[in-house]
Structure 1
Amino acid sequence: MILKNDIQVVLIDDDQHVLDSCQHLLQLAGYTTRAFQDPCQALEQIHSNWSGVILTDIYMPTMSGMDLIDKVKEISPHLPIITITGHGDISMAVEAMQKGAIDYLEKPLKPKKLLNLLEKVIRQRTKMVEQWQRIENVLPEQLLGDSDEIEVIRQHIKLLATADKDVLIQGENGVGRYTAAKLLHELSPRKEYPLFVKHGDDLDSVSKLEQVFIEAEHGTIILHDPSDMSEKVQRFLSHILLNQERSGKRTVKLLVVFGEHPEVYLQKNCLLPELYYLLSQVRFVIPPLRKRANDITLLFQHFLKSSCALLGKQTPKIDKAYFTTLKRHQWPGNIRELKNVAELYAIGIVKLSTANRVHPIEQMKNPLDNLVEQYEKQLIEDALYLFSGQVNDVSDYLQIQRKKLYLRMKKYNLDKANYKFDI
């Protein structure tokens, strides 16, 4: 449990007398404080993981309180700021709160009012810091890796899980977009409420979209590819989001997942400009596995160990040369492909081996059409193995429409159920 004196209060005012009296009062009340006449010196003490509260004057010669709020929010959007304004200067206080200040006090400061407000803010801040500590314990277990890239993603999730904002998540299939979105729900204050996962083409009418928002009240909706919705449905979604933004009451948190840059869909006229604007205000990109090469060995070992544990067998030793092969592979299916390769390895099927399927021309005694069909069947079968029978992922991987893929699977008598590995 975090104690009151664990939360530092930073005081900023160009009037030394105000600083001294305010610091004395807070120290008597049991708070840990630091006082600065120069806002720039105060900013040097603040970082993204800082757990304190800022109490600052609005009018200062070196840097205005308004500019200070902007700079603090750049460091971390969640840092609580209480502003001190001149008596009767309510318009300035309101502007400061619109910029992100949590509350304001008028001069001359009234000790009881200051202590009551600070106690309220500290209580809220303490809850958030404790939540962050829980998140920091969970994220390394849920998002494995030592690379700088995965650490950036962890920081994004840590900040956005505690912020009541809609979020756009962009990345290739299999990079962990759904895992990230699910964590944003499970680590947020909305975790006790419903989580719905919908694809754009599932919501083919305004009534369906409206019903989902009603059922997900106070919870979260993960929406894949809203560009697949009709213009009418997109317009209605824009209306919902705009009303939530204007009212300041977000009844549902929306987590939108895109495979490509949303600007691509905008250029193709598949995504309404107003919806694009509303969705893209808070966004982050999950990098493909090929750009996280330092994490491949760790991830493969983790998936292999987990699979072997479920099978009740010892984890096999892996030749160093095979790790080199894994790192050289481009991983078009990303983490999902790596996981499936590890699961197959656990049951004795070694994919990405150096086995050569190319035969010298003199050995090819079958007609060309037969050879092409054999090769096509092998490609589809390999992809079904890699993606555990998930046809949507296979169609993306092979760059073929689902309808055509189903026809080819029927032609070669390939049943997706035979390739599912629930291990």
Structure 2
Amino acid sequence: MSGNECSILLIDDDADVLDAYASLLEQAGYQVCACNNPVEARAWVKKDWPGIVLSDVCMPGCSGIDLMTLFHQDDPQLPILLITGHGDVPMAVEAVKKGAQDFLQKPVDPARLLALVEQALRQRRAVIARRHYRQQTLQAELIGRSAWIERYRRRLEQLAETDLAVWFYGEPGTGRMSGARYLHQLGRHAAGPFIYRELTPENASQLNEMMAQARNGTLVLSHPGHLTREQQQHLIQLQSLEPRPFRLIGTGTVSLAQLAADGQIMAEFYYCFAMTHIACLPLAQRPDDIAPLFHHYLQKACQRLNRPLPAVDNGLLKALERRVWLSNVRELAHAAELFAVGVSPLTATADPQLRIGSPLPLDHRLEEAERRIITEALNIHQGRINEAASYLKIPRKKLYLRMKKYQLDKKHYKA
């Protein structure tokens, strides 16, 4: 029997003890995989396995506690029950503090063993069901086939299992708010309120009211630089509580490191999000997502407007991939809706000077302008590097370096 076919992985280096435990569990109706080599045991458990581990503590080569540490590197939520001798009880208690589900003392009480096993299995099945739901939801809602969107789905899935503070940053229309909403919907605070506030010098003083409204839910704050040092410190203190009164999510156009460097936020506020920064990439840096997104929004628009789904040829899709989408996914969704009613989505792009919202930093504007100019040159010359470099009056090597910087690939501009 393979690891994924059983519900309990039983590990003990004593063959007689192994047989006795296996017999008890099988008589109770469980499918058991018995392993007498703790070093080999880790290979039995695959990703999202819906079972639990029952292991002796004292084994040669690898103790049950060492084995638990290895298992939890792959899956911190895998339930592990430890079996310990009388002299090992303090060690087992410490192991529970480190993440073990529970421990049983030898000689094992069969009734207690079966009760703990059933409890751990129920918990494990619930965890795996939530994971599958998250995976299906993110796959259905976060459309695309780029390497970035795959990583983005996986990151949100992982973060949904926690209530850590998260910072989303990027250009408007890149999915910052979508990511925040999915974290709320798929996380432990889903039943609570979802509160979004764009902070300004006028409303930042109302932070306490915002936090009260978000209790047991999610608070999303944009432009945290408007908060005073005392307010930032208060948020930091609340995020150190266990359990946290709400999940804190921040959004912005630049990284928190940049805000800290500019003196807009405290270093401590930055470290509150230190491991959970998510850069939301513009469509120009993930053109492989444009066609799937266009199809998705076109289908939704046709259903909403009760119109037949129009044909989309490859030439149109290639042109969409080469087009500059200043408002990113938001603008692409609007283009799909226009196409649903017979309007071509290949009209001229909007004037970037007409962006609504807070002004972008100079460096950001310059990079955006440079990326747009290179994109237009590649579009005009259909990805031919020599001609594009000549058109831009720069060496080929310099063009390649700029394309690498903005993750532009010449293959996306070939006719």
Whether these two folds match at TM > 0.5 is yes
Matches within 5 A, 1:202-221: 204-205=204-205, 208-221=206-219
C-alpha distance 112-287 of structure 1, shift in aligned 2 (>3 A): farther
- Alpha-carbon distance in 2 for matches of 1:131, 1:54: 20
CA separation of 1:170 and 1:70: change in aligned 2, threshold 3 A? farther
Partner of 2:57: 58
State the Cα deviation string for residues 213-272 of structure 1 (Å, max 9, x = none).
333222222233434422111111111112x1xxx3233222333443322223233332
Residue 135 of structure 1 aligns with which residue? 134
Q: Which residue of 1 aligns with 2:314?
A: 320
Aligned residue number for residue 278 of structure 1: 272
Residue 379 of structure 1: aligned partner: 351
Task: Give the TM-score normalised by structure 1.
Answer: 0.74
Q: 1:236 aligns with which of 234, 237, 240?
A: 234
Q: Do 2:6 and 2:33's aligned partners in 1 also have CA atoms closer than 8 Å?
A: no
Three-state SS of the structure 2 residue aligned to 1:105 is strand
Q: Shift of residue 292 of structure 1?
A: 3.1
| Superposed displacement of residue 171, structure 1 | 4.2
Q: Which amino acid aligns with 2:209?
A: Q
TM-aligned CA deviation for residue 200 of structure 1: 4.3
AA partner of residue 392 (structure 1): G
User: How far apart, CA to CA, are the structure 2 residues paired with 1:87 and 1:380?
Assistant: 72
Q: CA RMSD in A?
A: 3.1
* Matching residue of 2:86: 87
Q: Report if aligned partners of 1:69, 1:99 keep a CA contact under 8 Å in 2.
A: no
Secondary structure of 2:26 counterpart: helix
Equivalent in 285, 289, 298 of residue 295 of structure 1 = 289
SS of residue matched to 1:392: coil
Instruction: Single out whichever of 68-77 and 25-34 deviates more from structure 2.
Output: 68-77
Q: 2:340 aligns with which of 342, 346, 357?
A: 346
Matched residue pairs, number?
Answer: 360
Residues 1:104 and 2:76 are matched in the alignment: no
The CA distance in 2 between the partners of 1:20 and 1:287, in whole Å, is 55
135 and 168 in structure 1: CA distance in 2 versus 1, 3 angstrom threshold: same
Matched, 1:261 2:255: yes
Over 3 Å counting, the alpha-carbon distance change for 1:277 and 1:316 in structure 2 is same
1:266-319 C-alpha deviation (Å, 9 max, x unpaired)? 323333232322323445444443343322111112212322333333333334
Question: Matched residue of 1:44: which SS?
Answer: helix
Kindly tell me: are residues 288 and 37 of structure 1, through their superposed partners in 2, closer, same or farther at Cα, counting changes over 3 Å? farther
Residue 328 and residue 188 in structure 1: after superposition, are their counterparts in 2 closer, same or farther (change >3 A)? same
Amino acid in structure 2 at the alignment position of 1:125:
R
Secondary structure, aligned partner of 2:204 = coil
Mapped partners of 1:260, 1:7: distance in 2:
48
Which residue of structure 1 aligns with residue 179 of structure 2?
180
**Contiguous gaps of at least 5 residues in structure 2:** 366-415
Distance 1:38 1:257 in 2: 49
- SS of 2:311's partner is coil
Cα distance change of structure 1 residues 283 and 41 upon mapping to structure 2, 3 Å threshold? farther
Alignment of 1:245-256 (within 5 A): 248-256=242-250
Task: Name 1:373's counterpart in structure 2.
Answer: none
The one-letter code matched in structure 2 to 1:131 is R
Alignment of 1:121 onto 2:144? no
Following superposition, the deviation at residue 152 of structure 1 comes to: 2.9
Q: Which residue of structure 1 lines up, in the alignment, with residue 24 of structure 2?
A: 25
The aligned runs of 1:303-318 (5 Å cut-off) are: 303-318=297-312
DSSP-derived class of the 2:10 partner: strand
Q: Decide whether the 8 Å contact of 1:13 with 1:37 is kept in 2.
A: yes
Give the aligned residue type for 2:84.
Answer: T
C-alpha distance in 2 between matches for 1:289 and 1:70: 40
Residue identity over aligned pairs, in percent, reads 33
In 1, are the aligned partners of 2:238 and 2:244 still within 8 Å (CA)? Answer: no
Structure 1, unaligned runs of 5 or more = 358-377, 385-390, 401-423
Following superposition, the deviation at residue 332 of structure 1 comes to: 4.5
1:53 Cα deviation from its structure 2 partner: 1.2
Measure the CA separation in 2 of the matches of 1:282 and 1:396: 23
Q: CA deviation at 1:138?
A: 2.4
Residue aligning to 1:40 = 39
Rounded Cα–Cα distance in structure 1 between residues aligned with 2:82 and 2:136: 33
Name the CA distance, whole Å, in 2 between partners of 1:33 and 1:258: 50
Q: For the Cα contact (< 8 Å) 1:47–1:75, is it kept in 2?
A: no
> Relative to 1, partners in 2 of residues 1:32 and 1:213: Cα closer, same or farther, differing over 3 Å?
farther
Q: Deviations over 1:161-202 (max 9, x none)?
A: 243444344444322222122122222343222111123447
Alpha-carbon deviations, 1:11-62, whole Å to 9, x = none?
2233333322222211111112212233332211223322221222333332
Distance 1:162 1:91 in 2: 30
Change (3 A) 1:380 1:345: farther
- Looking at structure 1, the residues matched to 36 and 282 of structure 2 have their Cα atoms a distance apart, in angstroms, of 47
Preserved CA contact (<8 Å) 1:93 1:104: yes
Q: Is the 8 A contact 1:168 1:257 kept in 2?
A: yes
